[in-house]
Amino acid sequence: MSAGKGMLVRCVQLHSGLDPAGNLDSVLTGIGGARADGVDLLVFPETTASRSDEPGTRLVAERLDEGFVAAVVAATATGRLDGPGGPPDHAEADHGGAAGGPTVVVGTVETNPDGPPFNTLVAARDGQVVAVYRKVHLYDAFSFVESATISPGDGVLETFQVKGFCIGMVNCYDLRFPEISRLLADRGVDVLLAPASWVVGPLKEEHWTTLCRARALENTCYLAAAGQAGGNRIGRSLVVAPDGVIRAMAGPEVTTLTHFLSRAALDRARREMPVLAQRRFRVDPELIARTASAHGVHGPVPLPRTTHTPNPVARLAEAADHTSRRG
């Protein structure tokens, strides 16, 4: 499989427990199997390192240079000129691919010296971290309050290359906020990865598939999502093509999902649907910071409010006031 033709991606659907050491064996086994099968990009779920079905449970946090993540990064150390630990073969590392082992994306819980930990995705290959993303949108919905135990990320969006494809990462609840995927599309992303731990509930599976298809279709990119299985998680890992069609999807059980991503299909979709080139508005990630600075706001920056984005607390108060006046 040359960079010009496509790449093989595998999503690993796990049922992680709370202990990172207990989850590591499954990840290392998955890496070994992917290397043997010629997989180019291997994607594990959100919070692979530490997960609980109970809302509010404090997950086990570690630094990125120790414990779970350090072991995963070390397991990708192949294709080196003088063996593991030696200098990387940069000709291979620039593009990723099966010859040097897969590029591995895994979810972890990262220590934060300034507060609760981060819900973090790490991409690694050839014994090095190539990209990090700290979850921006925390799951404060459907009776869950992720922000009680997790800090929001810094908003840094990194991309990396695998087999000539530009890869970007979002994390689970981020799928409900299309701006972050569009920002990655502006950075040239061909494949959007969405590790997740999607919670069961009424219509939640429909939300999941609809959002995954929408993010792929509106950005004319592939989307590959690896989900947590078991307990109160839906599983349903999937691969969506740039035309919005689900090309492969798992069930609720622990399993793997492997699919070939075609460069020709990606190019064809972008020729037929040139929506990225035709749009008239762009997302401006600096707008909030500039607005805050102009008004002398320091520290955490609230979202700007307009008549189209009302303050929900104010709207609730207004509704109560109107009710009392009608009563």
Give me the active site residues, please: 46, 135, 172
Q: Which long-range contacts (CB under 8 A, 24 or more apart) does 299-304 make?
A: none
Distance CA 220, CA 102 (A): 24
Three-state SS sequence of 181-249: HHHHHHCCCCEEECCECCECCCCHHHHHHHHHHHHHHHCCCEEEECECCCCCECCCCEEECCCCCEEEE
> Is beta strand 41-43 parallel, antiparallel or unpaired with respect to 103-110?
parallel
**15: region left, alpha or beta (phi > 0 left; psi from -120 to 50 alpha):** beta
230 to 138, 142, 239, 260, 268: CA distances (angstroms): 21, 19, 20, 26, 37
Q: Residues of 82-111 as b/e, b for ≥16 C-beta within 10 angstroms?
A: eeeeeebeeebbebbbbebbbbbbbbbbbe
**DSSP states of 88-118:** B-HHHHTT--GGG--EEEEEEEE--TTSSPE
Classify the C-alpha dihedral 5-216-195-288 as positive or negative: positive
Residue of 193, 132, 144, 186 whose CA lies nearest to 9: 193
Nearest to 248 by CA among 237, 235, 233: 237
Bridge partners, residue 217, by sequence: none
Q: At what angle do helices 204-218 and 178-186 cross, to 10 degrees?
A: 30
